Amino acid sequence: MTVDYHAILPELILAGTIMLVLVVDLFLPARLKWGSMPIGLIGVLGSLVAVLTLLGDERATFGGAFVVDNFAVLFKVFFLVAAVIVLAVSRHYIDQPGYYQGEYYFLLLTSFLGCLLMPSSRDLLMLFIALELVSAPGFLMAAFRKWTVTGVEGGLKFFLIGVLSTAVMLFGMSLIYGLTGGKTRLDEVAGALGKLDASQEAMALASILFVVVGFAFKVSAFPFQFWAPDTYEGAPVPVAAFLAVASKAAGFAGLLQLMFVAFIGQHEFWVPIFAFLAIATMTIGNLVALQQRQFVRLLAYSGIAQAGYILLPFALVTTDQAVNQQAFASATAYILIYGIMNLGAFAVAVALSKRSPRLLISDFAGVARVAPFLAVGMTLFMVSLAGVPPAAGFWAKILIFGAAISRGEVLGPLLAAIMVVNSVVSVFYYLAIARQMIFQPLEDTTPVRTPVLLAGVVGLSMAALLFFFLLPGTFSRLADISTLVA
């Protein structure tokens, strides 16, 4: 079997960077430990250049288990841009006593390597390896603040529930392997599942359910979401940003491939399951977010609600390929926009964390007077998360709403109506942050100095949201050409 090294070049560059970071850190003096960050950044940018050389190309290697197409390239670019942002916001947060910087950047880049593999994994074994490569370093990074009770508690919850969900998912994959006669490639699994006799169908459906449970944990869907708030609160803020955006997007990238390729023939079984997951996840996420008083926990429950919105297109699948394609594209577009607005919000949180380490919502009072740029940025990110103009989050919700209406029957409009109600509920807690920053009195009038890297991340995120709002066809067109639905 020949290996297409051009197809795996981005992963090779990032893997080499990871090893370089690990080795170089051994020789850096304590005052220069931050040097691991620029090394990692250069490697990520090198991987991004390699991905861009694959634009418009379609390649497969390892017997079709690893595929590079428009879908894979789009997500790889997304993950690498997210890696640049997370590295940038980590620079000033991790550069303080108690953090082992070399080990941190090694673990972070290893997780991003798993993210890069995920959208190209068209094989059950490759999907499992990619998912574990994302998750295993995440368990360690979540508990990086080991001197705090919340850090240890959050990391332990993440680890225990993560291991359990992995076991359930792997059990489901092993059953599918047996039922399909040893097939692991997603397209071959789809064909083999369609030929099962009646006596095997029940076991096949149970296997699919086990696999969905494993990925439901990864994307923090109800009822597997309870690890997220404690883990996000206990983890370093940049790690919370990684878990909320890149790790979750990797889970959805794998889930899209499984449900729209491998298990599409069984959609009548799993569509009601995803309808329940979407409704419960968005509703519980929004209702509990209303009660939060700590900002990172609020973003955690917000992320749970946003996961519910992204799960909604899975419940729209029918035998109509046009509807399926629209649903797939709307989910992909929402993931891209969600990543931008959430990373921007976490960047502002990092910028304010030294002034207010606990990051209570009350700590945002009067921020507009001492850090107007950060206040404008956070307001735009909150408005976008709520799905209110003038930000790209509005169009992301419109795309899913349109896909639900196009699906027709009772289920489509019902899901669209529930999504609208949930979006209205979310406005209350998102705009509460803006109200705190703009209208609440300020006690400490000391100006907030924002590091250049953080200011750049906030500025670029704002520009991207405004750009995609003014030109919504740009990201919807990207999603349309990146669909796996023929």
Confidence of residue 35 (pLDDT cuts 50, 70, 90): confident
pLDDT band at 380, cuts 50/70/90?
very high
pLDDT tens per residue, range 82-103 = 999 999 888 878 777 667 788 8
Span 334-356, pLDDT tens digits:
999 999 999 999 999 888 887 77
CB atoms within 10 A of CB 47: 27
Percent of the chain with pLDDT over 90: 39
Q: What value does the mean pLDDT take over residues 446-457?
A: 82
Rounded to an integer, what distance in angstroms lies between the CA atom of residue 373 and that of residue 130? 38
Q: Which of 69-73, 108-112, 142-146, 296-300 is predicted with the least confidence, judged by mean pLDDT?
A: 142-146
Residue 430 has pLDDT above 70, yes or no: yes
Q: Is residue 478 scored above 90 in pLDDT?
A: no
What pTM value is reported for the model?
0.93
Q: Tell me, what's the pLDDT at 1?
A: 64
Query: Which of 53, 78, 111 has the alpha carbon at shortest distance from 332?
Result: 78
Rounded mean pLDDT, 199-228:
88
Q: Is the pLDDT of residue 459 over 80?
A: yes
Per-residue pLDDT of 274-315, as tens digits, reads 999 999 999 999 999 998 888 989 999 999 999 999 999 999
pLDDT, average across residues 91-116 = 85
Q: Is the pLDDT of residue 476 over 80?
A: no
Residue 43 has pLDDT above 90, yes or no: yes
pLDDT in tens, 130-168: 999 999 998 888 888 877 777 888 888 888 888 888 899
**pLDDT band (50, 70, 90) for residue 56:** confident
How many residues does the structure list for the chain? 486
Q: Say if residues 48 and 21 touch (Cβ distance below 8 Å).
A: no
